[in-house]
């Protein structure tokens, strides 16, 4: 259960991210949240996304591997895992990708959030080949 303080820090981190603050300014906020609340799926998912955007795929992989088991029905955590696996040349992306497709097929809110995050990711990293690949897989699976 997230504390009021960590919820406030989470919102602070999101506001900085949305204001396009430098990622090295935003990442420590989420690192601090997961340090204090290691079972906070949303914070691990955000941290993995920030690491991916900051071209730190190994750290993103570690964070995504922590997020996925905490969020049994969290599509973004699985997409971040797939992205980190692709960028670190890991095998086994099919299962988490299929799970993400299944989740977004069944949950319109998550489908919209994932689509928003993909758009945002491509605005921040226009030539992000792994994200383009994931976007195509999502479109094929829908």
Per-residue pLDDT tens over the stretch 75-84: 999 999 999 9
What integer pLDDT is reported at residue 132 of this predicted model? 96
CA pair distance 26, 37, nearest whole angstrom = 17
Both tokens assigned to 18: 């949305």
DSSP letter for each residue of 61-86: HHHHHHHHHH-TT-HHHHHHHHHHHH
Domain count, the chain: 1
What integer pLDDT is reported at residue 142 of this predicted model? 59
Residue 39 belongs to domain with CATH number: 1.25.40.10
What stretches in the chain show pLDDT beneath 50? Answer: 1
Range of the domain at 108: 4-141
């Amino acid at each position: 259960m997230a504390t009021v303080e960590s919820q406030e820090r989470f919102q602070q981190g999101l506001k900085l991210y949305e204001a396009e603050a430098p990622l090295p300014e935003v990442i420590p906020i989420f690192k601090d949240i997961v340090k204090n609340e290691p079972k906070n799926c949303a914070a691990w998912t955000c941290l993995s996304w920030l690491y991916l955007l900051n071209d730190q795929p190994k750290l993103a992989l570690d964070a995504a591997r922590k997020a996925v088991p905490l969020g049994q029905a969290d599509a973004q955590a699985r997409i971040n895992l797939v992205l980190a696996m692709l960028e670190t040349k890991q095998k086994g992306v099919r299962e988490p990708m299929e799970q993400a497709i299944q989740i977004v097929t069944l949950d319109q809110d998550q489908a919209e959030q994932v689509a928003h995050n993909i758009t945002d990711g491509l605005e921040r990293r226009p030539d992000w080949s792994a994200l383009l690949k994931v976007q195509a897989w999502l479109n094929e699976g829908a």
